[in-house]
């Protein structure tokens, strides 16, 4: 337990409050979309009705990549990235590295999207230009993009979310410091006391349980946001004279004597099957350096083994497809810095133990959303009756707190309708923007904040329950087909939407019947 | 120093001060942290630890009762790491290139 003097505690309470109030609504948006994005790949499967379960790397890829390599200009064979797209299709990006005018290291080349039925689409450009959303992943792409950079162009979007991560770090640490009785606070729920005390207890309990998680998420999130925007350019400037490519090669490359003699790439199917056997799971990503040269190296990246947290990486000689060694994801040999950096991703995304860890991350994310919203409400309650009216802020909390889930559900509904028509890339964000604008107008004309809350909760609940019939009506696979294909996640998410929708409606009914509505909190302090 | 000036001094040290010192410390750390077995710890650890360095500087600036001590400690960090970066630019870069 950390003991602070009365003045220090007072200061920390102010820091805790203002770190939440200053950026609380944006922070809530990032946390909420992050919570949903934990299941981005599952939502992608559910929304697009993908029934394939075999990874692209468990299907023949050698002939495809070899043929694509033959038709690609030699300049773009410096690096080749392979990863899954859509319903276990294969994405192949042949590229070379170059430094943009602003000093940023970019990849330029040709991106081939190979569907399971053999259709190939090619797009030329930089990594920023070719990896946009697809019609069948527009919803999950939209979710992730909202979380990562709030749809603000790079690098500003990443800087904003990085600053929000630091604000969350401050809120988490100051939250820990102001707890005088941490263990007691974890279990204290005075439900029969005044509304404010009960609300404060719930805020405190949810906040205390999710404190370590909030710290980890804020730390890893701000690391990811600042990594490429500020961190790498500055470290490269200090240690490599500003050469970002030299930094990248040092940290992620596989150093060896260059051998530019032409040599056909070894059998990639052999590499893929050997990697699956060694790692116990198919690769999530494969990188080939110097495709078509004698010094080609193939690196396969895998999720952590069961019970582990650090992802696995295997290295193969490209020319003869022979296994070279298991290597760390960062650096050529195991090291403290490499291990720490490699753990940032599983710790942030919660994907190290499959659906189980993702569910824990989702639940704790939900607790943090609750903490952020109740924190904002408590701050407002304490200032109610002050000289300045904070009704606008009270309404803003409702607009963001309940309006964001509503707008996301509207965008999901729009995706389900527009995807079969091939228009999901356009309609998904447009529906979100339209819903958000409607919420804003409604919030301005609504007579009270309580009505805004209830209308949005009701709308979200009804829409969530409607997503399941909508999905089925627009050609999505039924439960029997999904289970038969080995995709129970489609059924699970249908069930989750119905439950969440019911919970929203149930809450409104509960509030209507309650003797003491939530909105009539009286300041107790 | 008056109470108002002290408050503003603390705000400057915890706000822009902490950001500037954290960035310069991150850059300077590449010069004194050992490379480790993989030879990358000196560039990776500062990157990973940067948010924590900032948080430590922020809370230190908020909680230390002696503002002058905060100014001296953060100023020393800034000077030492700034000097390390400057030394790197003048002679260290060449050494790094040779080592590579």
Distance CA A132, CA A129 (A): 7
> Which residues contact residue A129 at a Cβ distance below 8 angstroms, ignoring those fewer than 6 apart?
A123
Q: In the prediction, which pLDDT does B69 show?
A: 95
- Answer with the one of A330, A364, A382 that is the final residue of a domain: A330
Structural domain span for residue A306:
56-135+254-330
Do residue A455 and residue A312 come from a single domain?
A: no
Clarify whether residues A365 and A474 are in a common domain: yes
Residue A173 sits at the vertex; the CA angle it makes with A193 and B32, to the nearest 5 degrees, is 175
- Answer yes or no: do A458 and A484 share one domain: yes
- Tell me which residue range forms the domain holding B27: 3-99
Q: CB A170 to CB B55 under 8 A?
A: yes
In chain A, how many domains are there? 2
Tell me, yes or no, whether A63 and A42 share the same domain: no
Tell whether A21 is covered by a domain: yes
pTM of this structure: 0.86
Q: What is the 3-state secondary structure (H, E, C) of A446-479?
A: CCCHHHHHHHHHHHHHHHHHHHHHHHHHCCCCCH
* A413 closest CA partner among A472, A492, A466: A466
Tell the residue number behind the tokens 């499967």, with chain if given: A45
- The angle, 0 to 180 degrees and rounded to 10, between the axes of the packed helices A6-37 and A156-178 is 130
Kindly report, residue by residue over A57-74, the tens digit of the pLDDT: 999 999 999 999 999 999
Name every chain B residue with its beta carbon within 8 A of the beta carbon of A328. 38
Name every chain A residue with its beta carbon within 8 A of the beta carbon of B27: 234-235, 237-238
Indicate if A161 and A272 belong to the same structural domain.
no
* Residue A353: band (very low, low, confident or very high) from pLDDT cuts 50, 70, 90: confident
Cα separation, A90 vs A61, in Å, equals 8
* A491 and A351 Cβ atoms separated by less than 8 Å: no
Taking the C-alpha atoms of residue A249 and residue A256, their distance in angstroms, rounded to an integer, is 11
Cβ distance B27 to A235 less than 8 Å, yes or no, reads yes
- Whether A44 maps to a domain, the answer reads yes
What are A515's two structure tokens? 């003797």
Q: Determine, for residues B23 and A218 on separate chains, whether the beta-carbon distance falls below 8 Å.
A: no
- Structure tokens that stand for A279 in this block: 């790692």
* Contacts with B88 from chain A: Cβ below 8 Å: 238-239
A429 with A510, same domain? yes
Asked, for residue A103, whether it belongs to a domain, the answer is yes
**Of A330, A361, A391, which residue constitutes the final position of a domain?**
A330
- Residues A183 and A296 grouped into a single domain: no
**Are residues A97 and A24 located together in one domain of the fold?**
no
Cα B61 to Cα B18: distance, rounded to the nearest angstrom = 8
Burial class (CB in 10 A: 0-12, 13-18, 19+), A262: exposed
Residues of chain B contacting residue A250, judged by C-beta atoms under 8 Å apart: 39-40, 43, 100
Q: Note the pLDDT of residue B99.
A: 44
3-state secondary structure of A285: strand
How many domains does the structure of chain B reveal? 1
Query: Rounded CA gap, A15 and A124, in Å?
Result: 49
- Interface A–B counts its CB contacts (< 8 A) at 116
This complex has an ipTM of: 0.87
Q: Sorting pLDDT into bands at 50, 70 and 90, what band is A453? A: very high
**CA pair distance A234, A256, nearest whole angstrom:** 26
Same domain, A368 and A478: yes
Interface of A with B in 285-344 (CB under 8 A): 328, 330-338, 340-341, 344
User: Does A463 have pLDDT greater than 80?
Assistant: yes
Q: Which of A298, A330, A362 is the last residue of a domain?
A: A330
Q: Is residue A148 part of a domain?
A: no
Q: How far is CA A249 from the centre of its chain?
A: 27
Tokens of B98: 């040779």
> Is B48's CB within 8 Å of A239's CB?
no
């Amino acid at each position: 337990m950390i003991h602070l003097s009365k003045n220090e505690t007072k200061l920390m309470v102010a820091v805790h409050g203002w770190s939440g109030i200053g950026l609380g609504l944006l922070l809530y948006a990032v946390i909420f979309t992050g919570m949903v994005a934990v299941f981005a790949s599952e939502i992608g499967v559910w929304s697009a009705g993908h029934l394939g379960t075999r990874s692209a790397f468990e299907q023949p890829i050698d002939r495809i990549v070899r043929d694509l390599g033959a038709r690609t200009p030699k300049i773009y064979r410096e690096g080749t990235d392979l990863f899954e797209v859509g319903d276990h299709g294969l994405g192949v990006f042949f590229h070379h590295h170059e430094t943009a005018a602003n000093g940023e290291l970019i990849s330029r080349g040709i991106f081939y999207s190979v569907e399971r039925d053999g259709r190939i689409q090619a797009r030329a450009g930089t990594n920023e230009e070719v990896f946009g959303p697809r019609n069948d992943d527009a919803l999950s792409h939209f979710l992730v993009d909202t979380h990562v950079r709030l749809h603000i162009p790079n690098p500003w979007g990443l800087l904003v979310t990085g600053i929000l991560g630091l604000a969350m770090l401050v809120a988490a640490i100051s939250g820990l410091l102001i707890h005088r009785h941490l263990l007691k606070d974890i279990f204290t729920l005075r439900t029969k006391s005044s509304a404010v005390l009960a609300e404060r207890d719930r805020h405190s309990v949810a906040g205390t349980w999710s404190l370590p998680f909030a710290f980890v998420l804020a730390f890893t999130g701000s690391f990811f946001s600042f990594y490429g925007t500020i961190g790498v350019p500055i470290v490269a400037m200090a240690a490599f004279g500003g050469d970002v490519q030299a930094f990248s090669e040092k940290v992620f490359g596989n150093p060896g004597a260059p051998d530019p003699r032409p040599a056909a790439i070894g059998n990639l199917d052999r590499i893929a099957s050997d990697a699956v056997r060694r790692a116990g799971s198919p690769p999530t990503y494969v990188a080939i350096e110097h495709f078509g040269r004698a010094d080609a190296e193939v690196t396969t990246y895998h999720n952590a083994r069961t019970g582990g947290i650090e992802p696995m990486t295997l290295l193969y000689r490209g020319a003869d497809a022979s296994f070279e060694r298991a290597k760390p994801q960062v650096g050529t040999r195991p090291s403290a810095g490499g291990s720490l950096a490699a753990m940032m991703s599983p710790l942030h995304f919660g994907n190290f133990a499959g659906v189980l860890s993702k569910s824990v991350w989702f639940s704790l994310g939900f607790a943090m959303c609750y903490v952020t919203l109740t924190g904002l409400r408590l701050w407002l309650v304490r200032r109610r009756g002050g000289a300045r009216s904070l009704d606008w802020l009270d309404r803003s909390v409702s607009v963001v707190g309940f309006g964001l889930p509503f707008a996301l559900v509207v965008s999901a509904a729009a995706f389900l309708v527009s995807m079969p028509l091939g228009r999901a890339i356009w309609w998904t964000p447009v529906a979100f923007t339209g819903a958000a604008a409607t919420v804003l107008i409604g919030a301005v004309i609504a007579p009270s904040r309580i009505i805004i809350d209830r209308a949005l909760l009701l709308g979200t609940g009804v829409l969530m329950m409607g997503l399941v019939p909508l999905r089925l009506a627009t050609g999505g696979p039924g439960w029997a087909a999904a289970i038969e294909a080995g995709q129970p996640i489609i059924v699970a998410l249908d069930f989750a939407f119905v439950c969440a929708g019911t919970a929203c409606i149930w809450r409104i009914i509960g509030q209507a019947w309650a003797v003491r509505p939530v909105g009539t909190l009286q300041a107790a302090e | 120093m008056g109470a108002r000036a002290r408050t503003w001094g603390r705000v400057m040290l915890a706000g822009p001060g902490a950001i500037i010192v954290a960035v310069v410390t991150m850059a300077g750390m590449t010069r004194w942290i050992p490379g480790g077995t993989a030879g990358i710890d000196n560039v990776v650890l500062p990157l990973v630890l940067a948010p924590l360095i900032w948080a430590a500087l922020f809370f230190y600036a908020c909680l230390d009762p002696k503002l002058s001590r905060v100014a001296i400690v953060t100023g020393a960090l800034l000077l030492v790491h700034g000097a390390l970066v400057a030394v790197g630019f003048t002679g260290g870069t060449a050494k790094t290139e040779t080592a590579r």
